[in-house]
Each structure stands twice: as structure tokens, then as C-alpha cells.
Structure 1
Amino acid sequence: MSSLLTFSSDIFLVAFFLYCFGFIFYIITVAGAKFSNRDPKAHIRRWGRISFVVSLLGFISHLTFFITRWIGGGHIPTSNMYEFMTFLAMAVMFAFIVVYAIYRKPLIGVFTLPLVVFIVAYASVFPQEVQPLIPALNSYWLKIHVTTAALGEAFFGVGFALSLMYLLRTVDFKETGASARRSQRWIELVMFVGIVLIGFLVSVFAFRAAGYEATFTQETVSISDAGVESSKVEDVTYTTPPIFKPYNSQVTSMDSFLGMKDGLFETPHWMQGVDAARKLNTIVWAIIAGLILYGLIRLVIRKPIAAVIHPLTRAIDPDDLDEISYRAIAIGYPIFTLGALVFAMIWAYEAWSRFWGWDPKEVWALITWLYYTAFLHLRLSRGWHGSKSAWLGVIGFIVVMFTLVGVNLVLVGLHSYAGVD
């Protein structure tokens, strides 16, 4: 089985590079049409076909990874954060293929493929070893609940990409009025968040490549419902310099970095999520790296990033973007409803003998569902089309990502095992 798992890891790397090449080819498809000496439509048709084939090969490689890891690991690979995020990336790619097959708009790939690449890269931050299932996860309802919930979120992700495309297409960067400048600042803020996410990957992998390590001894004190106090001492290892060290901890060993001999700040005690201190520290480094990267990009292009991307979107009808974004979210909504709520409650009853327990992840899944319910209501009953609908699509996926990642940073619950890294 070890050889099968090795093959699984190798084919996953192939999928990652194929996604990267697919994204590059989609850029050539859209941007190269302006500089083509031949018919621009012929250029788009030819390169669009190449881009889609390469992306499809990436998806097939990704699916091969999923199947071989399932066989080699003995259970469906969705039981920890690494496996879930890799499945989410595959689901986003599947949603993209479905939407692209219907509308045949190459620009969709320009914005969706980077999302897939980022999720795959983010997954690689977590431990990649196959872990045994805890009893609560050893159920076929795990397969049904997790896969359908992730597939619904994947269509929300495609809707997010298309909503972002709409905003980039419709915001006028030549206008100087108060309303126009406000729209320009908000869309640039979204671009900045994207750069911070890239900064996250840069900081994590740069320090990992350098072999940085710092270890702390942390004492955790807890009081039971009966009033009995207990304590636990454990080691916490950092792979990035500790701007925020664990709460109530002492440094054991630390590699040299800018003269640091201890963490600069202590993580607040109310951050009770699994490995909350390390995750907070990683987020701070992501923001620092993002600020530096954003500053360098602005120094080179000398204008807002959104203003540079805007001309690439002129070839597509904004009404098409608005409609495709809505359709993607409309497809994802019933799938997410079944996976994240209905099937999740059945699994919860089987695992813990109750349908609902106000676990933090359950609550945020409900918040996500209510949000997209409001989105569809405002879209269908109140006529919220265009920029209003697009902003809702962008914010909605931020809610999704907080449900997947942010909850594990701040809170502890029955789903916290998914956040171990």
C-alpha cells in the first residue's frame, strides 16, 4: 500500500502543475487575443481548447490521486484538513468543468484556476500522512455528508470567481466621483486579500524551505463541570518565527531570526481553537508577506492591481457574468443544503445520538446556508442583480472559508480534529 500512496502523492503533484499550466494557458487565451496577428476569435478558440484540455487532464490526475489514496489509506480521504482541502479543490475543478461546458467562456478559467491552485497549495501546508479514522468518522454518512457539502461549496467558489470577474468588468477606473472611487477601493481591497493569501503561501513555504523551527512548552489548565482543576503540559513546535507564542508557555528552543529569543506577544487566552497560537502566528506572517508583496507589485505597475486586470475582462458581457454567477450558486445551494445540513444531521444522530448540538462548525454551516438563502431571496424576489448580487457572491465565499478555516482558529468543537496541522 505504501507504493500506492507514493504514486498518489506523485500524481497529485502532476495535477497541481497541470492546473498551473492550465491557468497560464487561459491567460494566453484571453490576453493573447489582443496581440494575435490572426483572427482573435480563432486564437481564443484554439487556445481555449488547449487550456481546457490541460485543465481537464489536471482534474483527471486529481481524481486519480483521490481514488488511489482512498484505496491505499483504507478510507475516503476527507477525514483531516489536508484531505478535505484537496477534495474541495477537486470539487471546485469539477464545478468549473460543469459551468465551462455550459457557457464556454475562457475567462471563467482565468479566475477559477487560481482558486483551485491556491486551495491545493493551502492543503499542502497540513500533514499529508494517512491518519486512522476516529470512531465518529467511521461511517458511510461521512462519505455522503462531506462530499456533498464540499461540492456545494465548490459551486459557491465558482460563483465567487464569476462575481469577482463581474466587479472587475464593471468598475470604471477612469471615473473620479465619490461613488466610483469607493467601488475602486473596495475591489482593490479584494485584490489585496488575494495577495495576502499568496503571501501566506510564500511565508509558510519559505520558512519551511529554510528549516526554521521554534519549540515551546505550554501548560493548559482546564476546569471540569464538577469544578475539578486539571493541567496538561505539551510541546508546541513552530515553523515560522513566533510573533505570537502559545498562551502560558515558555520557550524550549528557537532558531535564530532577527535576534528573536522569545515570542514577541502571547496569544490571547480566548483563542481556544486547535493549534490556535500557531495559526494566528501564520496569519500575521501572511499579512506581513502580503503587505510586502502588494507594495512591490504596486511599485512595479504603478497603478491599482484591479485597474491592470480590468482590460482583460472587456471581451465578456457583464450580463453573462451576472447570470453565470447566479446559476453556479443556484446549483450549489441545494447540494450544500443536503450535504451540510440534512446529511450532516443524520450523521450527527448516528455518531452522537442527537441531530443538532450547536457545535461551532454546525452553527457556521447554518449561517452559511442562511446567507445563501438570503442571496437567492434578494436575487429572485427583490431584483438584486448586477453589482449588488456580485458583492453578495464575493462575501458569501468569505463566509464559506471562515466556516472551513476560521472556526478552527478561534473555537473548539467536535469538528476540531479537522484542523490539526
Structure 2
Amino acid sequence: MLALYSDRLFMAAVGVYVLAMVLHAAEFAAARSAKPVLVGAGGPDGDGRPVEEARPRGERFARMAVSLTVLGALLHLGSIVTRGVAAERWPLGNMYEFTSAICLAAVVGWLVMLRRSPVTRAVGPFVLLPVVVLLFLAGTVLYAQAAPVVPALQSYWLVIHVTTITISSGLLLVPGVASILFLLRGSGRLGGRLAERLPSSDVLDRLAYRTTIIAFPLFTFAVIAGAIWAEAAWGRFWGWDPKETVAFVSWVIYAAYLHARATAGWRAARAAWINVAGFATVLFNLFFINMVVAGLHSYAGLG
């Protein structure tokens, strides 16, 4: 029964995220007309009564979209928690659960960054788009029934290693999107009005950098914890298994990005390209390595 509730909460979360994207799109559309509506109370008029101040219609849509994103995150969290209770284990035992948790980490990370820097709100729909796509794949192609995990995963290292790699991978989605938007904005390939609605290139660059410097230490710890788990499970710390190899490549790329971001002459497009490359390797490791390449980490749960 709890597994059924988990699935329904998952579908509800996806639906709310989609609705939030629609409202973000309405925000962009309303910005074109730039016709203000009267909301809120302003200063008193000549009769001593409050005068309503003008605010763009898109502002209302944007606030509703953010509120729905928060609601979606709560439903999403409920789905993951009930899944774990139903399976009587940590809910990160297969690709469906792993992908779902990565998306939640991305959404929560985005909301935290939005809280710290409200000017980045226009990036929201571009963060939600890959989240919705990944959740759709998780709920269809990657879906697995709630069940015990294989013996190799019945370890407390599942909680430590897989949780940290999940959180860091989800957080890295945000700078990946920000860097892509940075490059598109700089190339002039975005429509004029769309580019006007996005934050400036400097804001996008800072968003990518600040999120990466939070995610990178977590990713580093996850790689180290994975090596310790490998020694306990397979008798060696590192064996150049395909997933280990690509994870190491991702780590090197993100280390190069942080170095490039701090180096004069590399802070703009060059650093952004490195960040996008790092995000591409994370996605490659998540899907291609887990689902196509055979290795010691082949626990996708796809039957």
C-alpha cells in the first residue's frame, strides 16, 4: 500500500513540476506585453486610502511557479520517503530511485540558490525542464517495483556513498543548466526577448560557480567513500571499473573548471564549456554506464 502511495506522490510531483513550468512560460509570455496589473497596497492617496501599486502580470505567474515548485518538492520528498518505508531499506537501490533522488536534489538546490539570489528566478523553467524529462524516464523506462536490494548493496555504505553521489549529482545539474544558458546568451542564439528575461551573463556565471563549489566537495567525498566501499566489498580500492573511471573523469573536469574559473582569461566562455563537459560526463555515467556497459556497478534494477 505504501508503495502505491509513493507512486502516486511521484506522479503528483511530476504534474506539479509541469504546471510550474507552464506558469514560468506564462511569465515569459506576459513579459512581452509588459502591461502592469494593480496588486498590493501602496502609499495613501488624497483621501487617506491606500493606492494600489502597479506590478507586471508576469510577477504573479513567477511567484505561483516558485510556490508550485516548492509544493512539488514536498510531494517528491514524500514519494521517496514512503518508497523507503515500503521497501524497508534506504530508497536508493535502483535506477528509478536514484534518478528520482537526483532530481529532488536538483530542485532543492535550485530553490536554495533562488532564495539566496532571487534575480536568478528566470532560470527556473530551464532547471525544471531536465528534471521533468528525467522523472518521466524514471517513471516509465526505469521504473522498478519496491523490493529488497541485491546482497552487494545491503551495506551502510549504500547510505553514505550513494546518498552523497546522488546529492552532488543533482546539485551539479543547476550549474550545468546555468553554463548552457551562459553560452547561449553569449552566442546570441537566444531570442532577443528571451535573452532580456534571463539574468545577465555575470549572474549566470556566478550561479554556476557558487553551486559547483558546494557540490564538488560532496562529489569528492562520494568518490572517496566509493573507493572505501570497493575495498570492503571487492578487496581493492580502485579497479578502473567503467563507472569508477567515468566518475574520476568527471572529478577531474570539475576540478579543472574550478581552477579555470579562478584563472584570468578563463572565467567566461572557456570555463563554462568545461562545466558543460563535466555535466555531460555525469549524465553519461548515470545512464549509459549504468544501463549499457557491464561492470561491477551494474545494479540498475531494469530486469
- If the TM-score is normalised by the length of the shorter chain, which range does it land in? 0.7 to 0.9
Q: Distance in 1 between matches of 2:169 and 2:129?
A: 16
Structure 1: gaps spanning 5 or more residues: 174-306
Q: Aligned pair 1:172/2:188, yes or no?
A: yes
Instruction: Describe the shift of the 1:359–1:419 C-alpha distance in structure 2 as closer, same or farther (beyond 3 A).
Output: farther
Q: Which residue of 2 aligns with 1:52?
A: 66
Q: Distance in 2 between matches of 1:409 and 1:5?
A: 24
Q: Distance in 2 between matches of 1:110 and 1:353?
A: 45
Structure 2: gaps spanning 5 or more residues: 38-53
Q: Distance in 2 between matches of 1:418 and 1:338?
A: 22
Given candidates 179, 190, 199, the residue that maps to 1:163 is 179
RMSD: 1.8
Residue identity matched to 1:359:
D
Given candidates 110, 116, 126, the residue that maps to 2:131 is 116
For residues 6-17 of structure 1, what are the structure 2 equivalents within 5 Å? Answer: 6-17=4-15
Contact preservation (8 Å) 1:107, 1:313: no
Given candidates 144, 153, 156, the residue that maps to 1:140 is 156
Q: Aligned pair 1:61/2:75, yes or no?
A: yes
Contact preservation (8 Å) 1:29, 1:106: no
Q: Which residue of 1 aligns with 2:239?
A: 357
Q: Distance in 2 between matches of 1:317 and 1:381?
A: 21
Contact preservation (8 Å) 2:230, 2:238: yes
* Structure index of larger Rg: 1
Q: Aligned pair 1:327/2:213, yes or no?
A: no
Q: CA deviation at 1:409?
A: 4.9
Describe the superposition over 1:296-319 as per-residue Cα deviations: whole angstroms up to 9, x where unpaired. xxxxxxxxxxx44x5312132111
Q: TM-score, normalised by structure 2?
A: 0.88
Contact preservation (8 Å) 1:379, 1:389: yes
Q: Moved runs in structure 1, 4+ residues, more than 6 A?
A: none
Q: How many residues align?
A: 284
Percent identity (aligned): 35
Residue identity matched to 2:30:
G
Residue identity matched to 1:415:
H
Q: TM-score, normalised by structure 1?
A: 0.64
Q: CA deviation at 1:328?
A: 1.3
Residue identity matched to 1:167:
L
Q: Distance in 1 between matches of 2:149 and 2:138?
A: 19
For residues 191-340 of structure 1, what are the structure 2 equivalents within 5 Å? Answer: 307-308=190-191, 311-315=193-197, 316-339=199-222
Residue identity matched to 1:367:
V
Q: Which residue of 2 aligns with 1:376?
A: 258
Describe the superposition over 1:357-396 as per-residue Cα deviations: whole angstroms up to 9, x where unpaired. 2211111111110110111111113441222222222222
Residue identity matched to 1:136:
A
For residues 75-90 of structure 1, what are the structure 2 equivalents within 5 Å? Answer: 75-90=89-104
Contact preservation (8 Å) 2:257, 2:274: yes
Q: Distance in 2 between matches of 1:415 and 1:41?
A: 53
Describe the superposition over 1:42-69 as per-residue Cα deviations: whole angstroms up to 9, x where unpaired. 4344322211110000000000001001
Describe the superposition over 1:160-209 as per-residue Cα deviations: whole angstroms up to 9, x where unpaired. 11112112222235xxxxxxxxxxxxxxxxxxxxxxxxxxxxxxxxxxxx
Q: Which residue of 2 aligns with 1:128?
A: 144
Q: Distance in 2 between matches of 1:409 and 1:126?
A: 10
Q: Distance in 2 between matches of 1:383 and 1:79?
A: 43
Instruction: Describe the shift of the 1:31–1:396 C-alpha distance in structure 2 as closer, same or farther (beyond 3 A).
Output: farther
Instruction: Describe the shift of the 1:311–1:389 C-alpha distance in structure 2 as closer, same or farther (beyond 3 A).
Output: farther
Residue identity matched to 2:24:
Y
Instruction: Describe the shift of the 1:64–1:410 C-alpha distance in structure 2 as closer, same or farther (beyond 3 A).
Output: closer
Q: Distance in 1 between matches of 2:111 and 2:100?
A: 17
Greater helix content: 2
Q: CA deviation at 1:337?
A: 0.7
Q: Distance in 2 between matches of 1:337 and 1:30?
A: 38
Q: Distance in 2 between matches of 1:378 and 1:345?
A: 27
SS in structure 2 opposite 1:90?
helix
Q: Distance in 2 between matches of 1:389 and 1:44?
A: 33
Contact preservation (8 Å) 1:100, 1:108: no
SS in structure 2 opposite 1:76?
coil
Greater strand content: 1
Describe the superposition over 1:387-414 as per-residue Cα deviations: whole angstroms up to 9, x where unpaired. 2222222222111111111224553111
Residue identity matched to 2:128:
L
Q: Distance in 2 between matches of 1:110 and 1:5?
A: 30
Residue identity matched to 1:70:
G
Residue identity matched to 1:380:
A
Describe the superposition over 1:45-98 as per-residue Cα deviations: whole angstroms up to 9, x where unpaired. 432221111000000000000100100111112111111111111111111111
Residue identity matched to 2:127:
T
Q: Distance in 2 between matches of 1:107 and 1:390?
A: 19
